[in-house]
Every structure is written in structure tokens, then in C-alpha cells.
Amino acid sequence: MTVDMTEHRHSMVPLEHGTQGLDATQLRGLAERHGVRFEVGPHQISRGAGEIVRHGWVVDLYGARSANDRGLQSDEATHHVHDVLDAIARHVVPRDAGQIAFELEPYTGAVHLDPRRDFLEEVRLRILIEPETTARESVIGDTDTQWMSDVSDRLEELGCVRRG
């Protein structure tokens, strides 16, 4: 699903009303409470004949249950963490991205176990950042790199930590 840049905060993913419309201070508190971390990597595609090219970026947001989530059932807690990650993603995606497409992957209910953190259960939200098909050749390069840098900066401003 591609996020419509005229209304970048909306997509076909339903919004959790408890995390909708939060300001940066509130999101910073949620990011800290849920230990939100992120990874940035290239989004690569194959053009055939073994040729692989970069086609934008992938940003993975990871968050874990907080102490306040202990009263929730496992499914409720993981859905809540996903809603938190979704609210953070919608906050950091640029509003004036022009010919850059942002896609938030829907939540599947899966959790990730991080061996670097004693197999802590984490929820992941993936954001794909890529040029629109018609602008692919003209946008690849400095422009999408700048958008990626902006997204990373916004995540760090909210207290999200680079994973690694």
C-alpha cells in the first residue's frame, strides 16, 4: 500500500485511536517506554540476468512491550506495540516527498526474537521508501538519500535508537 502524499498520515492500515494525533513529546515517551530502535538498509530489486540495483530504502522499526503492557494478553500487547510503531512512522514520513513513495507494511501478528537482547520479543514495522516508477531514474541518488537522512534524523529526535 502506498501512502498518498497529500494526506501522508493516512493509509489503508486502520489507526489505533490511542496513538492517533500524538505530538512529538508523547511519541518520544512511547518510543522510550517501548525501547524503539530502527535499522536502515537499501531496498534492492533484480533487473534480471543477475543484475541487482538499489531501488530506495527500507526502514525497520522495532519495539517491545513495556512494563505497562503486562496486563494485556500477548496478542493485545503486540498489536499495541505495532500501533505505537505505526504512529511513529506516520510522524517521521515527510509530507512533501514529491515523487518518493512511502509504504507501511501491514502487521502480520508475528514477533521477532532478538538474540542480541536475550531473545527479547519485538514487533517490527517496515517502511519502504522508493521513487515512483515514472521518476525512478531521475530520483535515485542524492534526493532519496536526503529523504532517508531526514527520516533517520526524525526518528532520532523522537528518541529512537539505531539498532546494531
Amino acid 157 reads: E
For 102-139, what is each residue's pLDDT tens digit?
Answer: 777 777 878 888 888 888 889 999 888 776 654 444 34
Distance CA 32, CA 101 (A): 28
Kindly state the cell numbers that stand for 117: 537482547
Long-range Cβ contacts of 135-142 (<8 Å, 24+ apart)? 135/99, 136/55, 138/99, 139/99, 139/100, 140/54, 140/55, 140/56
* Least-confidence region, from 21-25, 44-48, 134-138, 141-145: 134-138
In the chain, domain spans? 5-162
For 58-109, what is each residue's pLDDT tens digit?
Answer: 889 999 988 888 777 878 888 889 989 989 988 887 765 556 667 777 778 7
